[in-house]
Amino acid sequence: MTLIINNDVISRVLTMAETVEVLEQAYADLVTGDAVCRPRIDIRIPTQDPGKNYQWGSMEGGSTRGYFAVRMKSDIIYETQYNGATTQEKYCVQPGTFCGLILLTSIKNGEPLAFINDGVLQHMRVGADGGIGVKHMSVPDAEVIGMLGSGGMARTHMQSFTLVRNIRKVKVFSPTPANREAFATEMRATYGIEVETCDRPELVYRGAHIIAGLTDSAVPVLDGACLEPGQHVVNIGGSGVPDKATMDRVDVYLRFGNAPAPTGRPEMGVDDEYIAYEARPDREKFGDGKRKRGHGAMLPEKMVTLADILGGKKGRTDSSQITWSERGNLQGAQFFAVAGRAYERAREQGLGHEVPTDWFTQNIRN
C-alpha cells in the first residue's frame, strides 16, 4: 500500500533533531558518492495577467540508503508591496492554497511509497539547514539571536538554533507589531527564554551572536552596516543572497556543497541554486531568480564546505570573524532524506492514508 501523508501527520512524526540528523547524513553521503541529486529546476510561463506567471519547480535525489524523492511545486507567482517591503506571493488555485508534493519511492524495487504534502517538511528542512550552519560556524557560546521575521521559518529556525546552541534570548523585528508580539509570546512559552520585540530592524543586531533574516521578502532584508564582530548570519528570502554590505563584511562563508555534474559531462556541472527555463523569455516574470540563474558560490576565496569540515578543516578560526552559511544547490538531497524518515515514522505509528499501490503501476512497459 502507498501512503498519503498530509502536513498534520508530518507535524506529529517529524522532529527537528531527526531532521538535522538525516540532513547531515545525506550531505555526508553526497561527499562520499553514496547519494546523488540535481539542482532545482523551475519552468515559468506567462499567464493572461501580466502581473503574474505560472511556475513549476522540481528537485530530486536519492541514496544507496534506500530512498529516492522528487519534490514538485505548482504556483502562480507575483509580487506585492507590504508595509513598504516588496514580497513574493504565490498560490495554487486561489490565494491561500498551495500545491507542493513529494513523491517518495524505494530504490530496492521502484515502489511508490508515499505522496507527501511538503508544507511542514519544507519549513523543517530549511530550519535544519540554519541550525547546521550555526552548529559549525557560530561562536560556541552563542546565546542571543537577532531575528528579522516572525513567521513559519522563524519558528523552525528557533527549533534548530535551540537544538545546537544554548539560547537564552531572542530579539525579534517584523513589520507587523501584532505578529512580532505573538511570536514573542509563543517563544517565551515554548523555550522559557527572554524575548525582546524591536520596533526598528537595526535594534536586533545589538549584542546578538546569530543574525537570522527569515522572511518572504523579494529583496534583501539584512543590513551589513549593523553587523557586529563575531556574528553568524543566516539568510532566507531576498533571492537567497544577503545585501552587499553584509557580503563585504563576511570573513568565512560555509556553503554545504554542490550537486554533482552528470556522469561523463563535467562541463554540465553548475553551482547555481536553481536553473530556470521560460516561455516567452523576453517577457518580465516573477519568481526565484527573476529570469536569471540562481546564485552559485558567492565568495570563493572565503569559502569552506561541509566536505572540508568533515575532512578536519576549521570553518571559523577566530571569535571575531563574521560568518555566513547556506546550503548550496543540494535541495534534491534534502527531500529523500527527510521524507524517508517521516515515512518511516508514519508507518511505525500507523498514520497516513493508505491507497492501493497498483493505482500507480501498470502492465504496459514504459
| CATH number of the domain to which 20 belongs | 3.30.1780.10
Q: Are residues 181 and 318 in the same domain?
A: yes
Q: Is residue 366 part of a domain?
A: no
Query: How do residues 205-257 score in pLDDT, each as one tens digit?
Result: 999 999 999 987 666 788 999 999 999 999 987 656 788 899 999 999 999 99
Averaged confidence pLDDT in the chain: 92
Residue 185 belongs to some domain of the structure = yes
Q: Please give the tally of structural domains in the chain.
A: 2
Beta bridge partners of 60: 70
Q: Is residue 143 part of a domain?
A: yes
Query: What pLDDT does residue 291 have?
Result: 43
What is the per-residue DSSP string for 155-200? HHHHHHHHHHS---EEEEE-SSHHHHHHHHHHHHHHH--EEEE-SS
Same domain, 172 and 254: yes
* Same-domain status, 320 and 338: no
159 and 252 part of one domain: yes
Let me know if residue 176 belongs to a domain: yes
| Residue 277 covered by a domain | no
Residue pLDDT, tens place only, 97-154:
999 999 999 999 999 999 999 999 999 999 999 999 999 999 999 999 999 999 999 9
> By the 8 A CB rule, do 72 and 98 touch?
no
What's the DSSP call for residue 205?
G
Is residue 152 domain-resident? yes
Range of the domain at 244: 130-258+295-329
Span 343-355, pLDDT tens digits: 999 999 999 999 9
Contact indicator for 97, 89 with CB cutoff of 8 Å: no
Pairing label, strands 252-257, 303-304: parallel
Same-domain check for residues 227 and 239: yes
Task: Round to whole Å and give the CA distance between 211 and 228.
Answer: 10
Q: What is the pLDDT of residues 52-72, one digit of tens each?
A: 999 999 999 999 999 999 999
Rounded Cα–Cα distance for residues 242 and 176 (Å): 22
Residues 299 and 182 in one domain: yes
Same domain, 168 and 198: yes
Distances (CA, A) of 39 to 59, 75, 178, 266, 340: 6, 19, 38, 14, 19
Same domain, yes or no, for 234 and 345?
no
Reference 214, options 242, 189, 250; nearest CA is 242
- State the CATH number of the domain containing residue 184: 3.40.50.720
Give residue-wise pLDDT tens across range 241-251: 788 899 999 99
Same domain, 117 and 148: no
Inside any domain, residue 213: yes
Q: Is the pTM of this model over 0.85?
A: yes
Asked whether residue 274 is assigned to any structural domain, the reply reads no
In a shared domain, residues 171 and 306 = yes
pLDDT of residue 238: 60
> Helix, strand, coil shares of the chain as percentages rounded to 5?
35, 30, 35
Residues 172 and 68 in one domain: no
The answer to whether residues 64 and 192 belong to one domain is no
Cell of 11: 507535524
